Amino acid sequence: MSDIQTAPAAQATEVNTLTRKIGLFQAVTINMSQMCGIGPFVTIPLMVAAFGGPQAIIGWIVGAILALADGLVWAELGSAQPGSGGTYVYLREAFQYRSGRLMPFLFIWTAMLFIPLIMSTGIQGMVQYLQYLWPSMSTGQGDILGIGLTALLVLMLWRKVENIGKLTVGMWVVMIICVCAVILACFTHFHPSMAFTWPHGAISLTHGSFWIGFAGGLTVGVFDYLGYNTTAYMGAEIKNPGRNMPRSIIFSILAIGGIYLVMQIGVLGVVPWRDMLNTNSIDSTSIGAAVLQQTWGKGAAQVVTVLVVITAFASVFTGLLGGSRVPFDAARDGMFFRSFGKLHRKHGFPTVGLLVMGAMTALSFLFARHIGSSASHPPLSVLISLLTTVMIIVQSIAQIVAVPVLRKRQPNLARPYKMILYPLPTIVAGIGWATMYLWSDKANPGVHPIEWSLAWLALGCVAFLIWARKEKSWPFGPKEIREQFLEEQARDAEPALVG
């Protein structure tokens, strides 16, 4: 045990701390706004292309199952360890006993890439829809527009979190109106034969092409559900997190799952699925506008296009809100650049995290637009494939492992929510994430998402060794074991013991 040191307990009070101001309803709206956003309005054609027909509804159903299984992992970890940064906290607590600070360091390293990648999909989606209103938009003008939208988002987030919560509720209302308008338009002109007549051999379990399409469709489906964990990144700002954290995750997944399924069926009953395969058509780039144009006319399509852009704006807004908190705890722990641990003196939010995430989002947007063209893939498809593979290894799979590790290492930790049917959800989630990862190269020929993810992970390991040597941390020094939430639990119990 000579290579292990117990880190000193944190001070009971700190001047530079986040405050719990977000209630359950605001937490659910934050998750739902991030989940829905531009997602279904731009990815329904991608899902149809992956499956090769209206059987694409399978992707939404299986995606919902995977999201719910993984959401239960987040619910248990987040309710027991409600700190700022989500996965960073869970990996720090679970893996410190064996590999020191390697896993939380790698998560921050990858999060600084995959969170901006997720946000840049929203920016790309907004540009695609605005092109419906501005048909002559050039590539350069689209680039400038995307960067301007990102800058506006950062400016709007430069305020107190309680004010952001109120603003998010307003944008959530717009999202609900937009989704309901598209669904209503679909079912006023719905043709069941278009939605439910599947091509011959639509499901062929013995053919590799089906499984390639399944993996690609599952990736798109899961991408559209991403965001159910946004409140976990904001764990230090959620009121009564033991109760509200798991509920915000589960409620948002169930609500969005129902919306997605109804919308996918409705769209397939209005727009011929083969028309969605033409990447240069409105049916591929702006399916929401296409539906409204065919059903209620061009004027209605223009109105809904504006609503879709606002919905996408809300998604990136909430994503940057949560993402800017990710490096905060790491910086406070001395695990990352210390400037990321500073809060705005007046408004109390992480300034450097917000600015860096905003800048990385703009760069990711530009990267995908130009590499997408060279790789013969739509920019949105490139972003989705890259962000999911980078995320799966260090976040998704590692968190699944963290659940049994923490149950063994910290059995006395209070767990306000314990996963139902354990360990079944972890097994389902693990199989789903592994399927997406292992088939990602075949589902995205020419993009090489596995190679990119492994290269980024290897570079992160090198960066960790450089950092660990400088800090004299493991493997160049002793492991520092600090069970933060057990310590806080013990401190909270002291007044009761004294009384």
Confidence (pLDDT) at 4: 54
Q: 238: domain CATH number?
A: 1.20.1740.10
What string of pLDDT tens digits covers the 499 residues of the chain?
445 555 544 443 334 566 788 899 889 988 887 788 777 888 899 899 888 889 999 988 999 999 999 999 999 999 999 987 789 899 999 999 999 999 999 998 888 888 888 888 889 889 988 999 999 999 899 999 999 999 999 988 887 666 666 677 777 788 888 889 999 999 999 999 998 988 887 787 777 778 888 888 888 888 889 889 888 888 888 999 999 999 999 999 999 999 999 999 999 999 999 999 887 788 888 898 999 999 999 999 999 899 888 888 877 887 787 778 778 767 877 777 778 888 878 777 788 888 988 999 999 888 878 765 444 566 767 777 877 888 898 899 999 999 999 999 999 999 999 999 999 999 999 999 998 898 888 877 777 889 989 998 999 999 999 988 988 889 999 888 989 899 988 888 776 555 5
Q: Which domain, by its residues, includes 81? A: 17-479
Q: Tell me 238's DSSP state.
A: B
Looking at the domain assignment, is residue 11 inside a domain? no
Q: Cα(91)–Cα(105) distance, rounded to whole angstroms?
A: 9
User: Distance between CA atoms of 388 and 390, rounded to whole angstroms?
Assistant: 6
Number of domains into which the chain is organized: 1
In a domain, 422, yes or no: yes
107-122 residues labelled b (16+ CB within 10 A) or e (exposed): bbbbbbbbbbbbbbbb
Residue 416 inside a domain? The answer is yes
- With respect to residue 178, please indicate whether it lies within any of the assigned structural domains: yes
Domain membership flag for residue 1: no
CA dist., res. 445 & res. 443, Å (int): 6
Three-state SS annotation for 103-124: HHHHHHHHHHHHHHHHHHHHHH
Q: Give pLDDT, residue 3.
A: 55
Assess contact for 453 and 393: CB atoms under 8 A: yes
CA–CA distance, 314 with 168 (Å, rounded to integer) = 7
pLDDT at 130: 93
Those residues with Cβ within 8 angstroms of residue 224's Cβ, 6 or more apart along the chain or in another chain: 35, 39, 40, 43, 60, 63, 260
pLDDT at 455: 92
Contacts of 216 (CB under 8 A, 6+ apart): 50, 439, 443, 444
What are 316's two structure tokens? 């990136």
Is residue 496 domain-resident?
Answer: no
Q: What is the CA radius of gyration of the chain?
A: 22
Contacts of 193 (CB under 8 A, 6+ apart): none
User: Where do the DSSP E strands lie in 252-341?
Assistant: none
Instruction: Tell me if 490 is assigned to some domain.
Output: no
Q: How far is CA 452 from CA 114, 359, 367, 386, 449, in A?
A: 12, 21, 14, 7, 5
The answer to whether residue 12 sits within a structural domain is no
